[in-house]
Structures are given as C-alpha cells and as structure tokens.
Amino acid sequence: MDKVLSGLSLFSNVGVAEAYLEEIGVDIKIANEIDQKRGEFYKYLYPKTNVIIGDITDNSIRNEIVNESINQDIDFIIATPPCQGMSIAGKMNPHDLRNQLISYAIDVVKRVKPKFILLENVPRQLKTKIDYNGDRILIPEYIRLELEDQYNFNSNPVMSAMDYGVPQMRKRSIFLMSRKDTTITWDAPEKSEKIITLRDAIGHLPEIDPVIREGYETTLEYFPDFEEKKAKALEISKWHYPPTHALRHIKWMMHTPSGETAFNNKIYYPKKANGDRIKGHYNNYRRFDWDKPSRTITQNNGVISSLTCVHPGRLIQDDGTEEGRIYSDPRCLSIYEILIVTSLPKDWNIPPWANDRMIRSVIGEGIPPLLVKRIMEGLLKEL
C-alpha cells in the first residue's frame, strides 16, 4: 500500500506493535531501542527501518532521534515506555526511575512536532505520579500540561485488546493525540461485535505434552504418546513445540481443572521440598479458561508459577477424586499459541538466533498489534 504516514517508534522493543502497520500504509522509518539484542531483532523484522540502538536518556542519542525524525519528515510517533514500575505484574514501585521515561518521549514529541501521537502503557499509568518541576503529579496530568496546547486528546484513554478482536484480556492506557492544526479528532475505534475466546482461538489445536526437565525417560513415563503428539504439533508450525517444565509443576497442573489455580487443590497444591504449602498470588499456577480470552500475556509466559499462563487443558480422566482427575496439556502455551493470542502473524518472521526465553519476553512486553492496527485504521479513515 502507498505510504500514508511516516513514523517513529520509541521504546520499540522488537516491533511487536508495528506488525501490521506497513500493510495499512504506516511506514515506520525510525525506531529506538536501548537493548542491543532487541534492536537486532527489530532490524531482522524491519530491514528498511533505521534502528537507533541506545539510551533515549542520553542527550546524544535523543538528538540523533530528533534530527533523523526531522530529516525524514516524521508525522507520527508511537511510544511505549517500560511499564515494570507500574504494572501489577511488577513491583508497582511509585519511585521506579523507569516511570520517568515518559518525559524523554515528550521531549522528542515537542521537538519533532508530529501530527499524530500514540502513547501506550499499562492502566496504572493513570494513577502513577512522577517528578515534575519539584512536585509529584500524575502522568496523565503531566502529558496534558506539556502537550494540550498543541494537541487534541482522545476521550477515554483505557482500551481493552479483547474489544478489538484480540483473544486476550489486555487493558492498556492509550493516549491518542492529533495536532490541532490537522482539525482531526482521533478517538478509539468501534468495538468488535464478538469477543474471541481461547476456544475460538486455539481450541482446534491438538494436545501436546510438556518436556519434563528431569529427563527424557521421565517424560515418556508420564507421557507415552509424547513423540506422536509432538510430531503432529510441529506439522502445524515449527513454533508449536512443547515447553519444558519441572515434574512437580507438571503434576500439580495435571490435577488442576480449566480456569482454576493449583492453590485450590487439596492434594496437588504448590509445595516446597519439605512439603510446606507455597504462598503466592491467586493467579499463580493457574490455567486459562477456555470460554474467555486469555489473561494478559506477561514476560514470564513460559513459567508455570507466573501469573495465569497455563494451557486450559481438557479433562481426560475423572473418577470423582482429585487424584483421579487428570487434565491434558499441563504446560504453558507454546510460542505458536502465544503468537495467536497476542494477534501476531502466525508466520511472524522470528530471527533464527532468538532463543525461547527472549521470544516469550519480547512478545509479553508488546502491545497486541491487531489493537494498534484497529486504532490506526480509525485515524487513516479521517485522513
């Protein structure tokens, strides 16, 4: 498609948000990412983009971003600053220095003066304070103080990915801004008529058993059909391979029903080596629910003990007792399933050198690209 907008991506990760932008006419010409490996990942996905790898808080890096943006006539900026200091999946430290990174994005905006801006973060951004001229003020208040003279803002800054065709309950704080001289009002797109559940999204995929970390013989002892299931999965996608987990975690999840947490089990509950019950969040060691979108996919989506990240499973044995109640797929989602529930292309061009942990982490940090596409299509209709 012919180019409609020329864009700059700040805190770009590996370009998860940008997955569908080129096909709708948004050309991300420049991207900035602090991490070298993520920057290389981005270059692999988007070889035409000028990826500036470096710390945006460094004046020389920020000046390079600004100068390149002005030279390239950038008229759109998407910025997704780190959320770990605010997210409920993190420590929610109000004084986390990463919370201040929004100020560097605003500095770039004020110097480049793009026509349109998309600022994205976790909903807790709306209740997070940062330092500003000797005071502590809320981030939304800060953004408005800096930009409302030049930009119009969207009416409701909270959007949920599941309302826009993404099979994931991922709420985001999203500020959509249009420069006042454009006379364009940019707001959230209309919501989808249908919510996509995990049954809709991945219910057609066959069962796969996890690899047991304690060894191949142990894997076959518990899952005699392991190789046959693995082969069928790999016929679908090379990314639909079995995750590896510790046997004790697998045992707990084998006896945990869909949508439930192993903490509710009477026998197969999370416990330490000495038998003491493990304490944790009620969403740890939890299976997804088939009849809902997935909960938010986090960085640690390959770790059973993390916030809800275990496959919903199917009941394969039940004698009325917890010991005799067995569910399939006592594992985290495969990378292929993660691609689907995050709304990334199933054939996303992942670099061959990226390992499992990196792939899962960068996807977990990214905003679902179908949500971004829907938002941008709303703007493009106004242009």
Is there a single domain that holds both residue 141 and residue 232?
A: no
Is there a single domain that holds both residue 171 and residue 230?
A: no
Is residue 265 within 8 A of residue 321, CB to CB? The reply is no
Is there a single domain that holds both residue 178 and residue 221?
A: no
Q: Per the domain annotation, does 360 fall within a domain?
A: no
Which pLDDT belongs to residue 100? Answer: 82
pLDDT digits (tens, 9 = 90+) for 111-152: 999 999 999 988 877 788 888 888 899 988 999 999 999 999
- The single-letter code of the amino acid at 247 is L
Which pLDDT band, with edges at 50, 70 and 90, does 82 fall under? confident
pLDDT digits (tens, 9 = 90+) for 245-283: 999 999 999 999 999 999 999 999 999 999 999 999 999
Which 3 state secondary structure label does DSSP give 327? Answer: strand
CA distance 286 to 264: 10
Is there a single domain that holds both residue 140 and residue 247?
A: no
pLDDT digits (tens, 9 = 90+) for 311-338: 999 999 999 999 999 999 999 999 999 9
pLDDT at 85 exceeding the cut of 50: no
Q: Per the domain annotation, does 103 fall within a domain?
A: yes
- The single-letter code of the amino acid at 135 is D
Flag whether the pTM goes above 0.85.
yes
Is there a single domain that holds both residue 309 and residue 177?
A: no
pLDDT at 228 exceeding the cut of 70: yes
Q: Per the domain annotation, does 358 fall within a domain?
A: no
Residues classed as catalytic? 83
CA distance 204 to 206: 7
**Looking at residues 24-51, what average pLDDT do you find?**
98
Q: Per the domain annotation, does 85 fall within a domain?
A: yes
Which pLDDT band, with edges at 50, 70 and 90, does 97 fall under? low
Is residue 302 within 8 A of residue 309, CB to CB? The reply is yes
Is there a single domain that holds both residue 161 and residue 289?
A: no
Is there a single domain that holds both residue 229 and residue 101?
A: no
For the chain, the domain total comes to 2
The residue segments making up the domain with residue 138 are 5-190+367-382
Which 3 state secondary structure label does DSSP give 255? Answer: coil
CA distance 303 to 164: 27
CA distance 310 to 332: 4
Q: Per the domain annotation, does 359 fall within a domain?
A: no
The bridge status of strand 135-138 relative to strand 129-132 is: antiparallel
Q: Per the domain annotation, does 198 fall within a domain?
A: no
Beta strands in 133-187 (DSSP E): 135-138, 151-153, 158-160, 168-169, 171-179
Q: In the chain, pLDDT over 90 holds for what percent of residues?
A: 86
**Looking at residues 352-376, what average pLDDT do you find?**
97
Q: What is the CATH number of the domain that holds 167?
A: 3.40.50.150
Which pLDDT belongs to residue 1? Answer: 64
